[in-house]
Amino acid sequence: MQPLMLHQTCALGPIRAVTASVTATPQGCEARFRLDGHIPAINLPEPATPARRDNLWKTTCFEIFWQPLGDTWYREFNLSPSGQWAAYDFDSFREGMRDAPVDAIAIACSHDDRGLVLEASIAAALPDPAQVALNAIVEHPDGILQFWALAFAPGKPEFHSEACRAIIVER
């Protein structure tokens, strides 16, 4: 598991650490995210029927950005503790957004007062080698969002920035 850093503009709040990992598989990838802290003090979406859904990033959510090395297009996955998910392809930085083809996404989430673990298995064509970003969004009860990532570009938190894609993944 790799530690994610909290964006410099965000207050620490009830979550003290976020870690994540991703592994390429023959079918796509598997990812694991962990929040450590006082879980009852954050907003978690209610469990829901697993399905594709937009705007998951507006509350507590986890993200993977997958970009083939040397290319401009990338794929974004949003993984909600609710069990819902989204997948988008982009031609370049925030350009040409469309639903990405996905064979299946399975999400398992468990939590107690001190931690939350989300595990996802994604069946989708994912080229490699790829530069990958692992991100977390944590919503506080007052609606304030925290942004966690492997790395950030200077300025406001921008998960679509190539600077966030700080690890190389290959099969």
In 3D space, the residue among 133, 77, 63, 67 whose CA is nearest the CA of residue 105 turns out to be 77
| The pLDDT value given to residue 26 | 96
Span 126-130, mean pLDDT? 96
**Domain assignments of the chain as residue spans, ordered by start:** 2-169
Q: What is the pLDDT of residues 68-84, one digit of tens each?
A: 999 999 999 999 999 99
Q: What is the pLDDT of residues 83-120, one digit of tens each?
A: 999 999 999 999 999 999 999 999 999 999 999 999 99
CATH number of 2-169: 2.60.40.1190
Structure tokens at 10: 């965000």
> What is the distance between the alpha carbons of residues 125 and 99, in angstroms, rounded to a whole number?
13
In 3D space, the residue among 131, 130, 166 whose CA is nearest the CA of residue 148 turns out to be 166
Tell me which DSSP letter residue 64 carries: E
171 has a pLDDT exceeding 90: no
Q: 168 - beta bridge partners?
A: 131
Those residues whose C-beta lies under 8 Å from the C-beta of residue 58, and which sit 6 or more positions away, are 139
Span 137-162, mean pLDDT? 95
SS3 category, 103: coil
pTM above 0.85, yes or no: yes
